[in-house]
Every structure is written in C-alpha cells, then in structure tokens.
Structure 1
Amino acid sequence: MGVTEAAPIPKQRGEQLLDQAVRYAEERHWDVFPGTWLEPVDGRELCSCGEAECAAPGAHPARDDWAAQATGSAVQVRRAWQRQPKASILLPTGRTFDAIDVPESAGFLALARMERMELTLGPVALAPDRRMLFFVLPGAGAKVPDLVRKLGWAPSAIDLKARGEGDWVAAPPTRFGGRGAVLWARRPTPANRWLPDAEELINPLAYACGREAAAARARRG
C-alpha cells in the first residue's frame, strides 16, 4: 500500500510577508522597509498606529525615519519581519524605481493600450484604494508634470501623479484594512527587470486619465 503524501501546510500571513519582503530585496534589489500592521480590536482590525480613522490602515510607515530604515539587505529584512511578522511591506520610491499613480479604471484602459502598442512595461501594482501604480525608472517624479503639460493637459486637471524621492508605495501582499490586499496587475519577472522611462508610458497614461476627467465633468453636467 502506497504512502499518501500530506498536503503542504499553508504559510501563515507573517511568513508570507517575510518571504515576499526578502524576495523583493534579493531578486529585484529593491530597498524595503516595514510599515504598520493590522491589530484585532473588538472584532475589527485597526491600524497599529492607533488612529481609529487611519486613511491607510496597516499600510503606511510606522516611523518618521522610514527612509533611513529602508534596506536592500536580505539579512536586515529578515530581522525586521522577525521582530514584527505582520508589518506591511513598503518600498521607497526615488531609488531603484519611481511609480506613476493613476486611478484603477484609467490604469486598465492605459494598460490595454500599452499592450496593443507592445510597449515595454515594468511591474504594475493594483492597490485596494482603486489606484494603479506603474513602476518606471527613477526621475519620473521630477519630470512627469512637464511631460503632462507638453501633451496638452494641466497636471492639476488629471488624476495622475508620480511618486519619486521622499515617497513610498505598498507592495503585495500588504493589506489595507478591510479593503483587501495590494496585488500585482503585472508581477515582477526576469523579463521586466529593466524598467521603462516615464516618457515611454506617459502618453497612454495621460490620455486615459484625461478621458476619465472629461467623463467626470460630463457627469457633473
């Protein structure tokens, strides 16, 4: 009679976060730092920061000196998540990548157009607050406003912003309170290790955001 293999035991959430944080540091060479986490309180999950109405519960920096905490050392990453296994995974922008942040609906429209155009794409994250983040080369934070103006839009008129130096993004599988987890719309792979420049993606992204802004104005009458 053959021996039946036991089904693999699913990893606890803390182990998933630790494993993924280490992979970002080791495989992508991204700096990583631990953020806040969710704590069960009276049947609810509240942010560890203690703010009852936290805007990003369990998914923002836990300390003011977060930039100094960020590290690409897998050893230090392991130590950080062993100290607090439930900590969110946050990635500083302006170092190995920047991120162009757009509404989810505009992001999917732009993503479909980019794929038809066969543009080179980096990783793309989808956050539970209905935002989409396109990873691009560092420097986007400084030049995106001018790129948008050259395409005929005022930066303040469309919902598109670049996250660069001094900012950060939450990485999968970080959870935003009860809204769900950050996901990859296009996950990091060896094929997208080389990131595009913001100039390569700005046209479809600005177009999609401009269309959405025009539709919103039309709905308001």
Structure 2
Amino acid sequence: MEETIEVTSAARIPTQHAEALPDTAVRYAEERHWDVFPGTWLECAEGTERCSCGDPACAAPGAHPAREDWAAQATGSATVARRLWQKQPKASILLPTGRTFDAIDVPETAGFLALARMERMELTLGPVTRTPGRRTQFFVLPGAAAKVPDLVRGLGWPPAALDLVALGEGAHVAAPPTRVGASGAVQWACRPTAANRWLPDVEEIISPLAYACGREARR
C-alpha cells in the first residue's frame, strides 16, 4: 500500500466510534462550522444489516440522504443538529459540499500517492476522508468544482481521462464515523485539526492529485 500520512489531531473530533453519532455531528457543526444533515441508517433485519430506505439493492446502505429536501435540512447550528439526531441517533452524518468546502474525490491509491507527494512538497492540507468504497476525498475551499476542469486541462490532461471528481454545490460526502453497509466506516486519512481549519484552494493541490490520478490511469 502507498505511504499514508498520519496527522496528530488536537481537536476532539473522533476518528471512529469513540463517540455517538449525534455527539460527533454536533461537534462538526460547533467546532468546524460545517453544515450537517442526518442521512439513512442501518437496521438489523433477519440477522443482516440493511439500509433504512428499504431498498435491498441500496448502493450506499446507511449513508445517503433520507429525504429529497436534504439541502434545505442541512444546518450549521449545533443546537439544531443535536435536535435532528435526537430523532434518529443512528442516522449517518452527511456534509453538503459547495458551502463551507468542496471535496476532490479520487481513487484511494491515487489519494495516498498524492498525500505522500504533498507531504514532500510541504503543502498545507485540509481534512481528507477515506471511504469504504476505496476513495479519498480532499476538503478544499468552495468553488473548486467550477475550477477543476480548466486546471486539469492546464496540466495537460483531458478531464475525462482522469478519475478525479470535484464535488460542489448539490453534492455531499459522508463523514466519519458513518458506516456504509458491511463495507466499513468512513475514516479520516487526515483528521480535522486546529492547524488545518483554513482549507487550501484547489489550485494548491491539483497538480499532485492530477499526477497521481494520471499515474493510475496509465497502469
């Protein structure tokens, strides 16, 4: 496996199930000022865990919006977040992109290669998640989704040639410690800390990300 980056966290936000989901959702709103909203959750039925949406073929069991108006439901208020999760304490924690951050989603292997390269370049990183679907998601300043296609072209790549997706307005990501069915939980590859409260602009990290994705594409 490619080199991983350990970031020591001074924050109280947990990496796994150290705290209940409601407490974690409240901390994201309170400490990071991220908008949060509750998604679906996992229910045990006949000895197996299934998504609360009821679809046996759910693509993201326990980790997708539970209602169509999720964007309007998302809140940056810790008080409102606590009230939302009191109604369903097992609900997943979802974060809308395009507000306080966008996210650059790349394959896990490319993500860890880029992380190692960024460390050597001494680039400032924001939080980075690692999903059970073997993806890494880099949090950057809002507006990245509009910039990425031209930035990638400027580096000599047709955007369609790279498995690099910018998530902006209208999209969302699942936050740790949300579980995705039997695949496992979303984790932090780089945890939220006091040092990375200020997010990088996508222009600062797009080169190592595109390089890593291009290397994967050539394999």
**TM-score (norm. length: structure 2):** 0.91
Unpaired segments of 5 or more residues in structure 1?
A: 1-12, 216-221
Residue 195 (structure 1) aligns with: 199
Equivalent of 2:164 in 153, 160, 163: 160
Q: Which moved more, 1:105-114 or 1:142-151?
A: 142-151
1:104 aligns with 2:113: no
CA distance in 2: counterparts of 1:147 and 1:43, whole angstroms: 48
* CA gap 1:210/1:24 in 2 versus in 1, 3 angstroms: same
The within-5 A match list for 1:5-44 is 16-44=20-48
The within-5 A match list for 1:37-186 is 37-186=41-190
**How far 1:45 sits from its partner (Å)?**
0.5
Identity %: 77
Q: Which structure has the larger Rg over C-alpha atoms?
A: 1
Q: Which runs of 4+ in 1 moved over 2 A?
A: none
RMSD (Å) for aligned C-alpha atoms: 1.1
CA distance in 1: counterparts of 2:175 and 2:57, whole angstroms: 22
Kept after mapping to 2: 8 A contact 1:14/1:86: no
**How far 1:16 sits from its partner (Å)?**
1.3
The number of residues matched between the two structures is: 203
Greater helix share, 1 or 2?
A: 1
Map Cα deviations across residues 158-216 of structure 1 (whole Å, 9 max, x no partner).
1001000010000000000000000001000110000000000000000000000010x
**TM-score (norm. length: structure 1):** 0.90
Unpaired segments of 5 or more residues in structure 2?
A: 1-16
